[in-house]
Amino acid sequence: MTATQAVPDRPEPVLIQQRAPCPPVWVPELPGLASAALVPGHPQALELRLARGSRFSRLEIAFSGIQAMDILTFQQTVADAYRTIFDQLASLPTPHPIRFWAFVPNIHADLGAGLDRYMAFNAGRFAAYSAWCGGREALGRSVATGSAVGLDGDRLELHCLASCEPGTPVENPRQIPAYRYSRRYGPLPPCFARATSAEGREPGRRRLLVGGTASIRGEDSLYVGDVREQTLETLRNLASLVRSAVGAAEATGDGLDDLGAWLSRFYELRVYRPRPETTGAILEILNRCFAGVGRIELLQAELCRAELLVELEGVADIEALPSAAGA
């Protein structure tokens, strides 16, 4: 399939405009996760909510006063938020984090010493995560997929989806793992897997939870200023993640002709974009390249790098995929 071919005999996906920081709509649809209740007894600065099910749990933690925090206070509060989630998970029947969403106010704000707020967020996240999983070298075995985008306001929100079964981190061979980024992107790197292979919609099946994915190859942003090319490059990364999850060979070319079968495995998509005027160009490509998606969420947000114009996340069925030989 090329980027200009429409998916035949298929209605366009339902569009959902999200205006508040929250996980995608498929998360509260999981068994037992429709609502989350405030959990008392935690540090006054941290507000924690929990929805507990037998197979999945959802945790939400938030704190305000971001703009007044110096860099060290902010890093420490982020680390405390992650540690609080990890501590909560240890007492639940669903102790395994499989997906994180972070919403960071003014994510590109300059905090001094050459660091922006996203770099400071990464330092706090990395400290908590590496301590929880047993050190930097263990990250590749246990880190969950995630996303972090910027919104207005003064309140940081962190959402976690946890499971009774551990997920399997999945990396993209076209990209350097985020937790191995160079110091170009801060003194401590982002801490997330590109995707997580987890329990599927039915027992015995698997789904791929794909974190925030953008036009990055290696660790470099591509096609700066061109939303169409950034979207196409992001689709190549999404297809590569599905291939990686099932052990299929990587595509030999950069065209989209062989990506249709891989992209068709996605059934949920969310689009983050900082400029609403780019929405039409992004959706035109998505509507032509995804055969299995029934709804697409849209959320206006600043992305982790100022030059990026689009970030996609989603969920894919990774059972019954085409073989590497047939790809």
Structure tokens at 70: 């110096």
pLDDT (tens digit, 9 = 90+) per residue, 142-165? 899 999 999 999 999 999 999 999
Domains of the chain by start residue, with CATH: 14-326 (3.30.1330.40)
What span, in angstroms and rounded, lies between the C-alpha atoms of 296 and 292? 11
The answer to whether residues 124 and 79 touch, using CB atoms and an 8 Å cutoff, is: yes
pLDDT at 255 over 80: no
Considering the entire predicted model, what is its pTM?
0.92
Query: Residue 202: exposed, middle, or buried by beta-carbon count in 10 A (0-12, 13-18, 19+)?
Result: exposed
- pLDDT tens, position by position, 209-222: 999 999 999 999 99
Q: Is the pLDDT confidence value at 323 over 80?
A: no
Q: SS3 for 154?
A: coil
d(CA 43, CA 146): 24
Q: What are the percentages of helix, strand and coil residues in the chain, rounded to 5? A: 30, 30, 40
Alpha carbon distance 94, 65 (integer Å): 31
pLDDT exceeds 50 at position 19:
yes
Q: Given this model, what pLDDT does residue 11 score?
A: 75
- Residue carrying structure tokens 């995560």: 129
Q: How far is CA 311 from CA 175, 216, 274, 296, 315, in A?
A: 15, 10, 9, 13, 14
Task: Report the distance separating Cα 34 and Cα 111, nearest Å.
Answer: 37
CA angle 134, 138, 139 (to 5 degrees): 105
32-80 confidence digits (pLDDT tens): 888 878 777 666 678 999 998 889 999 999 999 999 999 999 999 999 9
C-alpha angle 305-133-39 in degrees, rounded to nearest 5: 80
Q: Mean of the per-residue pLDDT values for the chain?
A: 89
